Homo-oligomer: A and B are copies of this chain.
Amino acid sequence: MTDSPIEFYFDFNSPYGYVGAHLIDNIAERYDRKTDWYPISLGVAFKITGMKPMSDIPLKGEYFEIDSARVCRYYGVDYLKPDVAPFSATAASRAFYWIKDKDPGQAKGFAMAIYAAALAKNEDVSAPSSVVKIAAGVGIDQKELLDALQEPDIKQRLVDETDGAIKKGVFGSPFVIADGEPFFGVDRFEILDEWLVTEGF
């Protein structure tokens, strides 16, 4: 077992990613491990896998509605299906990396606030103006972030992070990589836990 952080990939549209975000740091802490969070644009991965958002797939879409709400109830996570789904998570994901470069812990707090707004309160989080307001709630300077969101670097960053994730095999949300071992889905966190206990079984 190494000291390298457990990588946690997620899309802000994903209720399962939301549940995963509630759980991953607790799991890691039990094994004295750090986590490194990466919001990604799942739509880019979908182009490679030929997948679509689950809500757009016949049969699977109807199931997803039942299951996502049920998984949230099971884990005690407040959830309210957003009126617009999928929504654009581009501004929120870009903002995340800008905040993370200053303070990774604050970025996690920001991610939870975005998730709660989007998936528990049916708030629109697609506009940069909404994103910076939510960021202000976790202590970020609104004006500074709003300016940063216009920079080409921050736009490219999300592209690069998403490409990097895909190169590592990430195709869904949540997706965890621990010591090179991939785990897709919040339903694999129990197996991830066992993996960390046994240092690979």
SS class, residues of chain A in contact with chain B: helix
Residues on B with beta carbons closer than 8 Å to the beta carbon of A182? 63, 66-67
Q: Tell whether A43 is near chain B: CB-to-CB under 8 Å.
A: no
Assuming the contacts A49-B60, A59-B45, A182-B63, asked whether A74 and B201 have C-beta atoms less than 8 A apart, the reply is: yes
Residues of chain A from 48 to 98 with CB closer than 8 A to chain B in the complex? 48-52, 57-60, 62-63, 66-67, 70-71, 73-74
Cβ of A131 to closest chain B Cβ, rounded Å: 29
Q: Is the CB of B50 within 8 A of A166?
A: no
Binding site for B on A (CB under 8 A): 45, 48-52, 57-60, 62-63, 66-67, 70-71, 73-74, 166, 169-172, 181-182, 184-185, 187-188, 190-191, 194, 201
Q: Is the CB of A59 within 8 A of B49?
A: yes
Cβ of A6 to closest chain B Cβ, rounded Å: 17
Q: Is the CB of B63 within 8 A of A59?
A: no
* Apart from A49-B59, A59-B170, A63-B184: 8 A-B pairs, beta carbons within 8 A: A50-B57, A51-B57, A59-B166, A59-B171, A63-B169, A66-B182, A70-B201, A73-B201
Q: Which residue of B lies closest to A75 (CB)?
A: B191
Cβ of A38 to closest chain B Cβ, rounded Å: 16
Q: Which residue of B lies closest to A172 (CB)?
A: B60
Q: Is the CB of B62 within 8 A of A169?
A: yes
